[in-house]
């Protein structure tokens, strides 16, 4: 007698995983096990149409984190946050973070069960998501967004202090944690090493890429160079460590996820990562020239 076992689970990073295997009871095999498994697995592999929307939500959340943390760390210790454009950039980051978090929360359950748009936002599915690591990270991200609002309100009314400076850095790291503990590093091997590596990678991106956004948006926002020049000079110092940190942690994670140097060299994804690393190295050499030119323009 031929039986089959079918399973479909959600991995730690929120991706659905399914499979099947046959087993028989009796002394004479039927020889139909392989065909049965192929049919069962094909039936179990339901592709949800929500994949692109879910990916867009994750991207919006990450972009919001880079914008928010970038502008907050760029204006660190100054009163630039009182400018209209700086505040608008920070608020845009907050909105994107919130929209991205809610999108993932509403779509994740329907996606992993192979459902469609009609299943979006069903409380039974949302409740199941909240109980997972991904759901916990989303709830924590929403709470952190609310804390960011309080910090921004405080910094608009009063100057920076050692306490607010510590809180800004702490919120930046904690926000990065919510991405790392629910992403690929949390579902692979050596999580105790590569989750912190991914956190450092995200913080470095926020400091470097978010700082570049801030330079473009804010360098002409305030008349005079008393506020802008120190912020740009601080960004130059921060980028000196942030860019190498992004490259080193990115390469380390790539080697870990692709199972070694051979895969990195042979695959298109690996060659793309190598090309990006070389580009980042050249950008590091030209970054100081860019910052110096911006300071001279002011």
Q: What is the pLDDT of residues 50-68, one digit of tens each?
A: 889 999 999 999 999 999 9
Tell me the pLDDT tens digit for each residue of 152-171.
888 877 888 888 889 999 99
Give this prediction's pTM.
Answer: 0.77
Among 18-27, 65-74, 107-116, which is the least confidently predicted range?
A: 18-27
Q: 24 pLDDT exceeds 70? A: no
Distance CA 199, CA 173 (A): 7
The angle, 0 to 180 degrees and rounded to 10, between the axes of the packed helices 133-157 and 162-180 is 160
Q: Tell me the two tokens of residue 56.
A: 């867009």
Hunting for tokens 């991914």 — which residue is that? 198
How much is the pLDDT for 271? 59
Residue-wise pLDDT for 140-155, tens only, equals 999 999 999 999 888 8
Q: What is the mean pLDDT of residues 123-138?
A: 90
Q: What percentage of residues in the chain have a pLDDT greater than 70? A: 68
C-alpha span between 259 and 257 (Å, rounded):
6
DSSP letter for 117, please: G
pLDDT bracket for residue 298 (50, 70, 90): very low
The runs of H, that is alpha helices, within 78-190 are 84-112, 123-130, 133-157, 162-180, 184-187
**What are the tens digits of pLDDT across the range 228-262?**
677 778 888 888 899 899 989 988 887 777 765 55
CA pair distance 204, 251, nearest whole angstrom: 14
Mean pLDDT across the chain: 78
Confidence band, pLDDT 50/70/90 cuts, at residue 296: very low
pLDDT of residue 45: 57
DSSP code, position 22 = E
Beta carbons of 57 and 99 less than 8 angstroms apart: yes
Are 244 and 107 in contact by the 8 Å Cβ rule? The answer is no
pLDDT score of 103 more than 50: yes
**Residue 295 confidence (pLDDT):** 46
Average pLDDT estimate for 185-207 = 88
Q: Residue 27 pLDDT more than 70?
A: no
Share of the chain residues as helix, strand and coil, in percent rounded to the nearest 5 = 75, 5, 20
């Amino acid at each position: 007698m031929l039986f089959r076992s079918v399973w479909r689970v959600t991995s730690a990073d929120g991706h659905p995983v399914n499979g099947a295997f046959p087993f028989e009871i009796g002394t004479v095999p039927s020889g139909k096990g392989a065909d049965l498994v192929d049919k069962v697995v094909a039936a179990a592999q339901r592709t949800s149409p929500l994949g692109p929307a879910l990916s867009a939500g994750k991207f919006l959340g990450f972009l919001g984190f880079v914008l928010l943390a970038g502008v907050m760390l760029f204006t660190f210790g100054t009163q630039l946050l009182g400018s209209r454009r700086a505040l608008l950039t920070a608020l845009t980051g907050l909105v994107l973070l919130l929209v991205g978090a809610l999108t993932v929360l509403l779509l994740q359950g329907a996606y992993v069960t192979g459902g469609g748009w009609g299943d979006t936002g069903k409380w039974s599915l949302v409740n199941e998501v909240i109980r997972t690591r991904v759901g916990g990270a989303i709830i924590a991200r929403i709470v952190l967004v609310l804390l960011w609002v309080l910090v921004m309100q405080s910094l608009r009314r009063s100057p920076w202090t050692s306490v607010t400076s510590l809180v800004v850095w702490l919120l930046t790291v904690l926000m990065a944690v919510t991405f790392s503990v629910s992403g690929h590093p949390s579902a692979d091997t050596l999580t105790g090493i590569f989750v912190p590596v991914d956190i450092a990678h995200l913080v470095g991106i926020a400091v470097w890429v978010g700082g570049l956004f801030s330079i473009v948006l804010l360098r002409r926002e305030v008349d005079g160079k008393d506020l802008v020049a120190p912020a740009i000079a601080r960004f130059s110092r921060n980028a000196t460590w942030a860019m190498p940190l992004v490259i080193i942690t990115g390469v380390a994670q790539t080697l870990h996820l692709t199972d070694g140097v051979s895969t990195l060299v042979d695959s298109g994804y690996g060659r793309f990562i190598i090309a990006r690393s070389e580009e980042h190295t050249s950008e590091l050499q030209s970054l100081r020239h860019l910052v110096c030119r911006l300071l001279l323009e002011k």
